[in-house]
Amino acid sequence: MTKLLHISASPRGPRSESLAIATTFLGTARDTDPGLTIEEYDLWDGTLPAFGPDAAAAKMAVFAGEQPQGTAAGAWNAAIETFRRFDAADRYLFSVPMWNAGIPYILKQFIDVVSQPGMVFGFDPTAGYTGLLKGKRAAVIYTSAVYGPGRGPGFGSDFQAPYLEDWLRWAGVDDIRTIHFRPNLATADAEEGRRLAHAQARDLAKVF
């Protein structure tokens, strides 16, 4: 049975454009494949563990071939549980608004928590990193209020899509599909962009 995990970095609210598009995507996915299992992971729900000094110490201990101890061991166990929830899915749908040209900090926190040796990546001193997430597929919904392709530097830069997609590929996820609704506020034709984004979500969900 195929499992799709919707990872949302968009706070819920009436102006959550990425969540609205995700709702269209997920509804179409359910209709297309009634046997599909869908799990929602709201990164803002308070269950995502912190990634601080204890977690960093645990990661470095494992990198050195050691077992985390004390409070670092607790942080390591929390990272393992988060990774298992992530790894249990075959497909991912990310809802990602642009914050200050990049991704929301809560999504960076998620990436820091699950990006652990032996889980998301392997490492060889000669060959470097190897992504361990094999056979996965990802769809990403990108939104931004002001930034848009072809706009001048006064409208911002895109460190959102390059960062997330580079991380996905680094982790071993090469099959990445994207939906863009950018800009969705500082534009005269937001409604047309919105219509196209929802149409893309429906089309992609049918073949995802």
Rounded distance between C-alpha atoms, residue 136 and residue 33, angstroms? 17
Residue 13: the pLDDT is 85
Q: What is the pLDDT of residues 166-184, one digit of tens each?
A: 999 999 999 999 999 999 9
Q: What is the mean pLDDT of the chain?
A: 96
Rounded distance between C-alpha atoms, residue 43 and residue 65, angstroms? 30
Residue 14 pLDDT grade (very low, low, confident, very high; cuts 50, 70, 90): confident
Q: Is the pLDDT of residue 57 over 90?
A: yes
Place of tokens 């454009």: 17
**Paired tokens of 188:** 């005269």
- Region of 160 (left: φ > 0; alpha: ψ -120 to 50; beta: rest) is alpha
Residue 15: the pLDDT is 80
Residue 187: the pLDDT is 86
